[in-house]
C-alpha cells in the first residue's frame, strides 16, 4: 500500500517534497524532515502552518482543495458520461431480448448508479470508487 510523505525544512517552514511511496525507506532531501499524511489530506492541497509554540503542522489548503475538487468533479462527470454512453446500446431491444431479466436489472442498476455518481458510491471525491460494471451475457 502506498504511503504519502511530506518533506519540509523546519527552520523556514518550507514545503520541499511530496511523494507517494511503498514502504519507509526512500530518498530524502538532505536537511528536510518528513512526515506521513493520511486522508482526508490530499498531497496536492496541503500547506504548512507553524503555531505560536513553534510546532509545524501539515494542514489542508482550502484554496488549493477547492480548485482540486472542482477539477476532479469535472473529470468525474466526463468519465461518468463516457461510461453511460458506452452502455447505451445495451437497451436496444435486440440486445435486451437476448438477456435474462436479472441481467437487464443489473444493467439498469449500474446505469442508475452512474447517473447518481458520485453521490451514491463514494465518500471521497478525490478518490472515487466507481460502480462495478456487470458482465454482458447474451443467450
Mean pLDDT for the stretch of residues 50-76: 92
C-alpha cell at 1: 500500500
Peptide bond into 40 cis (omega under 30): yes
What is the pTM assigned to this prediction? 0.66
Name the CA radius of gyration of the chain, rounded.
22
Digit-coded pLDDT (tens) for 9-36: 999 999 999 998 887 788 889 999 999 9
Q: Of all helices (H) and strands (E), which one includes residue 105? A: helix 101-116
Confidence class for position 63, pLDDT limits 50, 70, 90: very high
Q: Which residue has the cell 518528513?
A: 34
DSSP 90: G
Query: Considering only 16-25, 35-44, 57-66, which range has the smallest mean pLDDT?
Result: 16-25
- Helix 62-86 and helix 101-116, axial crossing angle in degrees, nearest 10: 150
Amino acid at each position: 500500500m502506498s504511503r504519502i510523505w511530506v518533506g519540509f525544512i523546519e527552520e523556514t517552514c518550507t514545503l520541499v517534497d511530496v511523494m507517494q511511496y511503498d514502504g519507509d525507506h526512500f530518498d530524502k532531501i538532505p536537511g528536510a524532515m518528513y512526515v506521513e499524511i493520511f486522508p482526508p489530506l490530499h498531497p496536492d492541497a496541503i500547506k504548512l502552518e507553524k503555531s505560536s509554540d513553534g510546532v509545524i503542522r501539515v494542514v489542508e489548503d482550502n484554496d488549493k482543495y477547492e480548485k482540486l475538487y472542482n477539477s476532479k468533479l469535472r473529470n468525474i462527470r466526463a468519465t461518468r458520461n463516457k461510461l453511460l454512453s458506452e452502455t447505451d446500446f445495451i437497451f436496444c431491444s435486440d440486445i435486451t431480448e437476448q438477456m435474462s431479466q436479472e441481467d437487464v436489472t443489473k444493467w439498469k442498476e449500474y446505469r442508475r448508479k452512474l447517473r447518481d455518481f458520485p453521490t451514491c458510491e463514494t465518500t471521497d471525491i478525490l478518490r472515487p470508487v466507481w460502480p462495478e460494471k456487470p458482465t454482458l451475457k447474451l443467450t
